[in-house]
Chains A and B, each alone.
Chain A
Amino acid sequence: MRAEAQAGAAAAPLLAARGVSVHYEGAISALEHIDFDVPQGALVALLGANGAGKTTLMKAIAGMLPFERGEVTAGEIDFDGFSCVRAHPAKITRRGVALVQDGRQCFRSMTVEENLRAAALLKPARAREMTDLVYDYFPMLREMHARAAGFLSGGQAQMLVIAMALMGQPKLLLLDEPSLGLSPVMVQAVFDAVERVHRDLGASVVIAEQTVPRLLTIATDAYVLSRGTVAIHAAPSQITEDELQRVYLS
């Protein structure tokens, strides 16, 4: 009995969402009884058409829903033994979840360097080391370190927000549509960086996208959401473009 429980605990995923429902403004249903797991060290692709609920799921995990008049109305989200439902986002971030939100949320009036310094406030002890690391990942940021973040291009800003998420040394990195609005070359660069983060830092990663063939080649697991429910949960190799189209159009 005890041995069984321990074996179960050892295999427990880093993040486990069970039966999660989310409503906005107390009425609009955005997620309905979602089960979503992120195993330790996984790179999970979270796919879905516009309005499927990808952003909502990420915000639910990171505790950001109350700031959008949203609420987890059912279910449980467990991250590394910590319940994320109704916890303050700052606390969840401290536990090791980093959310790279859509819209490249950075501090536009501050320089790139200050943005990174702010992101390191969480773990100031290794700030130097991490700054060197992200500059190594994104050499462009080192060149632009004195520039106000508001003046970066879309791709550069995307690099910055990913770098900021890394400064807190997360165990789980959530990326919401990182390739949105980027040129193919930039998308390539972003995915290279994410793959490197996943491989070298050992962080588990979730990437929400609408369609990126590249994503399915690097992912270890894939979920396809449709209208707030999980339409497909399968190995990435089993998900075909046709099948995605069918779900998106349904």
Chain B
Amino acid sequence: MLGLQLAIAGVATGSVYALIALGIVLIYKCSGVVNFAQGAYAMLGAYISYFMLRLHLPAVVAVLAAMAIMAVIGAATERLILRRMLKAQIVSVMMVTLGLLIFFRALCLAVWGPDQIAFPQIFPAGSIDFAGVYITYNYVAAFALATTLSVAFLCFYQFTAIGLMQRCTADNTRAALAIGIHVSNQISIAWAASAALAGLGGALLATLGGLSLTISDIGLVAFPVIVVGGLDSLVGALIAGFLLGVLEAFTEGMLTPALETVLRKFTSIDSVGALQQVIPYALLVLMLLLRPQGIFGRRGVERV
């Protein structure tokens, strides 16, 4: 029963992680940048949603407004910072996105303080009974919303004209330019979409676990799992998100308590801390040894 409970919670959280991870892959495919600031976008989206909700806007309006603001922030990051680094070393670019993560965290810390904030209830209170396990509407709604949006985005990417231009840009910049695609605009669109999706993801995480700076950790935790899925595969990112959610739930709900019981019995250590953040990296090391291009990735992805 605990297993089922954890699986359900893991899948629900994982669907939100998947939404956020989608953005990391989208940006990587289009511009070759590994964006460590994706978690910061999620966190910022959550805080901005909170701010909007406090203005007593309807929940839909508040969250949509937050997504729009995040889209602007995403596009601005690309235009003002990353566009100037087109010819920079890949390591410098990574350092810059890490720097952005730290900057946005500090910004939220300065404005909203370090304490966890109770996020306003945006979904109806209550729960449904699923095979003897109670699932709150929060989880049901987060799962439904995140999954619908992820699928909608994949369809957008696959079947619309802008999606086609996105895929062209991701595949071959030189060829995209030659058929008249304004490549730099496509890269801005990718960053905007990615930040907006992450912003919604952050708001959903806040409805599940409260609002705090730790939402931004998801970027760092998700990264190894995405590499496992294959950095250039959108479907890989979705699966990676779900995998991360389930892994985290089971680590937190089963592995950590079991380990702590053992440790308490035989040693003076009585807590193993944030084990759920360690597991993804252990998985990454294992994966890189076995299949460097990831499960769904193609070999030989390089930056253009």
Contact = CB atoms under 8 A, between A and B. Distances in A.
Interface of A: 62, 64, 67, 69, 88-90, 93-94, 98-101, 105-110, 114, 117-119, 121-122, 124, 161, 164-165, 167-168
B83 interface: no
Interface stretch (B13-21, B94-102, B106-114, B165-173): B165-173
Contact of B182 (A90, A99, A106): A90
Contacts of A122: 179-180
A106 B176 CA distance: 8
Interface residues of B, number: 20
B168 to A, nearest CB: 5
Nearest to A92: B180
Contacts of B178: 62, 64, 89, 93, 98-101, 105, 165
B129 to A, nearest CB: 45
Q: Which of B172, B174, B177, B298 has the most CB of A within 10 A?
A: B177
A121 B175 contact: no
A96 to B, nearest CB: 10
A171 to B, nearest CB: 14
B2 interface: no
Q: Which of B171, B176, B178 has the most CB of A within 10 A?
A: B178
A62 B183 CA distance: 15
Interface of B: 87, 161, 164-165, 167-168, 171-183, 298
Contact of A118 (B87, B173, B179, B183): B179
A119 B171 contact: no
A118 B179 CA distance: 8
A141 B174 CA distance: 22
Nearest to A88: B182
Contacts of B180: 89-90, 93-94, 121-122, 168
A6 B175 CA distance: 38
A107 B174 contact: no
B164 A114 contact: yes
Contacts of A94: 180
Given A107-B171, A118-B181, 13 more contacts: A90-B177, A90-B180, A93-B177, A98-B178, A101-B175, A106-B175, A107-B167, A118-B168, A121-B180, A122-B179, A122-B180, A124-B161, A168-B179
Contact of A121 (B87, B164, B174): B164
Contacts of B164: 114, 117-118, 121
Contact of B177 (A89, A110, A167): A89
Contacts of B167: 107, 109-110, 114, 118
A114 B178 CA distance: 16
Nearest to B232: A109
B80 to A, nearest CB: 19
B174 A164 contact: no
Nearest to A95: B180
Closest 9 CB pairs of A and B: A93-B180, A105-B175, A107-B171, A122-B180, A90-B182, A89-B177, A119-B179, A90-B180, A118-B168
Contacts of A101: 174-175, 178
A107 B182 contact: no
28 contacts: A64-B174, A64-B178, A67-B173, A89-B180, A90-B177, A90-B180, A90-B181, A90-B182, A93-B180, A98-B178, A99-B178, A101-B174, A105-B174, A105-B175, A106-B172, A107-B171, A108-B172, A110-B167, A118-B168, A118-B179, A119-B179, A121-B161, A121-B179, A121-B181, A122-B180, A124-B161, A161-B175, A165-B178
Contacts of B168: 107, 110, 118
B171 A109 contact: yes
Nearest to A117: B164
Contacts of B177: 64, 67, 89-90, 93
Contacts of A62: 178
A130 to B, nearest CB: 13
Contacts of B87: 69
Q: Which of A89, A100, A117 has the most CB of B within 10 A?
A: A89
A106 B175 CA distance: 6
A93 B179 contact: yes
